[in-house]
Structure 1
Amino acid sequence: MIDNDQADEDRQILAHMIDAVEGAGAVLLARFSRDSRVADRETLLAAIDANDEAATSVLRPALERARPSARWDDDEEGAGPLGVGEWWVTDAAEGNVNHIHGSAGWAVTATLMRDDVPVLTAVHVPLTGETYSAAQGRGAFLDARPIAVSVKSDLSAALVATGQAKPGEAEEVRRMLARSIDAMLDRALLVASAVPATLQLLPVATGHTDAFWQFGQVRSGLVAGALLVREAGGVTLDAHGAPWTLRSDAFIATTPGLAPAVIAALSSAA
């Protein structure tokens, strides 16, 4: 239960978070070109680092001013619990690889965690100008308009999506992903695979896609979308149907009506 003082404080923090992700997004947008291409791995990594540095230089100071007591999660590919207290989990250039290739599918994310639970989040998509936000127990919004997951309960009519958690996944994770895609191709209407995770979870939260799953975990790619989906009326589960946490090794976000069928499909691939 969140008391009134905490709720008022959280509203103020969330307003600052929205300003922060939009400010960092403006930096990335100014650096973006649809003509951008990279020729080799060295150039790719240098471009990724440059984007991260430019956007983080705006995002991090703004968030630290909004909540100076919260610790900072410095590991962009980190997984597992962070521990008690408040933490900032962010990605200043989520989908960075898409940005540097001149493609859509990139954003800025910021999530405030309390005792390993996401409680506030803001996601800005600079190419569309959209900003998504959510506060635990108070709903999810797109540019201040409430959003909701789809009402589907038939997997054969569902649009579903997945993707890699990160480059260089372990062999068993790769094999599970391949088997799960095959299982979903047998059961769902359409199956998509793309990165980053956040950009696949936004359509789940708004009801344009019906489910997303991922094996493995990168905290910064899941916590923002997890809170948005839950506050939009969806569920986030592990592959066994238990509530998803930072200790889970698989992630499912879907509608309550589709959850049993999605879990059954993924269990057949495990």
Structure 2
Amino acid sequence: MSSIRLTLLTLVTMLCFAGNSVLCRLALRQTSIDAASFTSVRLISGALMLALLVHGRQRFRGSVIASRGRFPGLGGSWISALALFAYASSLSFSYANISTGIGALLLFGAVQATMILTGLWHGERLNARQLGGLLLAMAGVVAILSPRLDAPPLGSALLMLASGVAWGVYSLRGRGVADPTGDTAGNFLRATLLSVLLSAALLTHQQLDGLGALYAVLSGAITSGMGYAVWYVVLPKLTRTRAAAVQLSVPVLASLAGALFVHEPITLRLLLTSLAVLGGIAMVVYSRPSAV
């Protein structure tokens, strides 16, 4: 793959990741759809898109796989599906009360922190620069959560952090799989069943909205389904450090898109906390940790 094509595909995936935050925020702020319904429509749309991609790939290869109790070509596991469902549902409920930029910052900060802490658990060690970066990032998160007039609701912020942890767990479980697209399709399908159960449990609070459902379909089929498929094509071509670093652009892109499409202000508080969180994480990922 040429460097130009790799750069363009990487940019597309980062725009898709930022688009998920923007579409979710648009739906839950500007339409009447409820968070559970948005999650269900998003996951169903993503599952259908990924299933079509897997089916089209099989037809292109001229292969027919017997199902034997599972959907042809779809892998994954219930544990990964549970992590995916936790990510998607927490994201939706959080974005009902939190701005696009702050939400994306907390989300991807938690994703990177989960991966960094997992590395420490498995024997990696941080040097002085990395430790300073981790402390700086943590200080930025504390600053976001500190009580101020423009601070996000604590419950929504903690829910977004939980969403980031769940996505980090899902990403870690997906590393090194033989067929990432097929596994992602299977995980989406399983997560869809969980989201339907959630919607059934909250049926009395259900509010469907045509525009909100359209945003959910776009989030599921385009920025999630197709976005993840492209990301898994790009990921093997990137080093671990570069893969982590490029994702730091997502909160910035989400903040700009939030200002453009959701008319959310880019405040000095957002700029300073973003600098602390993203700069701190960059200090960690740009220096290779040492193993015991």
TM-score above 0.5: no
> In proportion to residue count, which structure has more helix?
2
Q: Higher Cα Rg: structure 1 or 2?
A: 2
TM-score, with normalisation over the residues of structure 1? 0.30
- Relative contact order (C-alpha < 8 Å, sep 6+): which is higher? 2
Normalized per residue, the structure richer in strand is: 1
